[in-house]
Structure 1
Amino acid sequence: MEAYKVLERILIVCIGNICRSPCAQALMNEALSRDKRNMKIGSAGLAAQVGLPMEPTTRAVLLEHRHRPPLHRACQLERSMLHQADLVLAMERRHIDGIYRITPEARGKTFLLGKWQGELEIQDPFRRDRTAFEQAYRQIRTAVEAWTVRLGH
């Protein structure tokens, strides 16, 4: 997958942009910053809770696993973001459908974050118990690691 080495912008999408996509953004930024590449990783939500910070349990799970959660404010997915992104990663198939409704041109560059785990869909832990957040974190971490390998990092 040598073609992916020219990627400059990755966009990660979920629904509210307060749990899964900011977690994945933090882990992807951390993984890709190791080689000092100037790759921009963003996140957005199809029905974002605009302006809200990262969900507190998501933040706590990241801290417990020795990650540094970034300052984050949820933002709504916009067509321009999809046009600017070289790679779009979604948590669930229905998110991909929503992305295509916004801009059909995103076909060919939009995939599940869990693509390399048998097309795994990462379920939303929002308003669920801590176990759901831990499971989402583990799935996101594994998926991010798989993508960084394929991105040549």
Structure 2
Amino acid sequence: MATIPLITVICTANICRSPMGQAILQAKADAAGLQLAVNSCGVQALTGMRPDKQALGALERAGYKIGEEKRAMQLLMPQANAAQLMLVMEHRHKQWITHNFPAYSGKVWLMGHWNLQSEVPDPIGKGPEQFDECLQLLEYEIDQWLPKLKTLL
């Protein structure tokens, strides 16, 4: 029986961008018939915290769901090893992973890789409008990834 590929979405604290990216990527992969498991971690995770209320609100307004069990999780060796692909929000996240887990540097890609290597700005501490903009950017970036994931995984 084939193993379902795991994609890990990564940001800093794992309470805003990466949980939103996790929910969006899982929903879009499911809708596209792609068998993927998606989780999220942080490079400086606020371990054990629920996603930010603004992030949860943005997901809800856009029709996405993330489980009540979702808690911030630090990216550690077991998570880096388990992922077939790690999608990060910023260049510095990629640098952190490459420095801390050099053996896994080949599976770390910028979420905005197909969009001129663009970063996804952190909306933490901002209002609903900025969280909605972040969510829309994540949707756009994930839409760029989906056709590639069909051939990569």
Q: Percent identity?
A: 26
TM-score by length of 1: 0.89
Q: Which letter maps to 1:117?
A: N
Given candidates 43, 47, 61, the residue that maps to 1:46 is 43
Q: Which letter maps to 2:12?
A: I
> 1:88-137: per-residue Cα shift (whole Å, max 9, x none)?
10000000011112200122211101111111100111112223212211
Q: Are 1:28 and 2:25 matched, yes or no?
A: yes
Q: 2-side partners of 1:115 and 1:36: how far apart?
A: 23
Partner of 2:54: 57
Q: Are 1:70 and 2:67 matched, yes or no?
A: yes
TM-score by length of 2: 0.89
User: Which structure 1 residue ranges, 4+ long, deviate > 6 Å from structure 2?
Assistant: none
Q: CA RMSD in A?
A: 1.8
Structure 2: gaps of 5 or more residues:
none
Q: 1-side partners of 2:29 and 2:60: how far apart?
A: 19
Q: Which letter maps to 1:49?
A: L
Q: Is the 8 A contact 2:16 2:51 kept in 1?
A: yes
Q: Number of matched residues?
A: 148
Decide whether aligned partners of structure 1 residues 148 and 116 sit closer, same or farther in structure 2, where only a CA change above 3 A counts.
Answer: same
Partner of 2:106: 108
Q: Is the 8 A contact 1:14 1:44 kept in 2?
A: yes
- Output aligned runs, 1:1-150, within 5 Å: 8-71=5-68, 72-150=70-148
Partner of 1:3: none
SS in structure 1 of the partner of residue 41 of structure 2: strand
